[in-house]
Amino acid sequence: MLAKKYRFHSRGGVRYTYKHGTPVRHPKISLTYNPNSRGKQRFAVVVSKKVLKSAVARNRIRRRVYEAIRATLPTLKQPTDYIFTIYSKDIKDLAFPDLQALIVDLLKQTNTLN
C-alpha cells in the first residue's frame, strides 16, 4: 500500500489538479498531472460509482492501483500531483503485471520518469 504521505489529504488539491493539470488518456484509465511545490509526489485514485456499484470492488481497484504506483515510485524524478481516474471495470480483473505496465506507460507519457 502507498504510504499516507504520498496521498492527497483534501479535496482542494484534487480540484486544483483537475483544473490546472494536464490529462493523459487511455481507454480504461486516465492520468491528470500537475507539478507542485511541496517537494514530493502526491497521488489519488478515483473510481466512480458509475464504474462499479460495489464499494468492495471499487476499493479493490484502488488498492491495486496504489500498489502499482508504489512499485514505480522510486523512478519518479520531480514533485508532481497525479490523479488516476478509472473508466473501466475491467481493471479489477486485469493481471497485476499488465496493470503495472499500463500505469508505467501513462507515467512515461508525462515525462516524469527517470
Q: Where are the domains of the chain?
A: 4-109
Rounded Cα–Cα distance for residues 103 and 76 (Å): 12
State the pLDDT at residue 58. Answer: 95
Note the pLDDT of residue 107: 92
CATH number assigned to the domain covering 4-109 = 3.30.230.10
The model's pTM is 0.91
pLDDT number for residue 68: 93
Q: Are 51 and 88 in contact (CB under 8 A)?
A: yes
The span from the CA of 49 to the CA of 101, in Å, is 25
pLDDT of residue 74: 87
pLDDT at 29: 95
What sign results for the dihedral spanned by CA atoms 23, 17, 109, 96?
Answer: negative
* Mean pLDDT for back-to-back runs of 10 residues, the chain (114 residues): 86 91 94 90 93 94 94 88 94 94 93 80
User: Which pLDDT belongs to residue 113?
Assistant: 79
User: What pLDDT sits at residue 60?
Assistant: 94
pLDDT score, position 3: 87
How far apart, in whole angstroms, are the C-alpha atoms of residue 81 and residue 44? 8
17: its cell numbers: 489538479
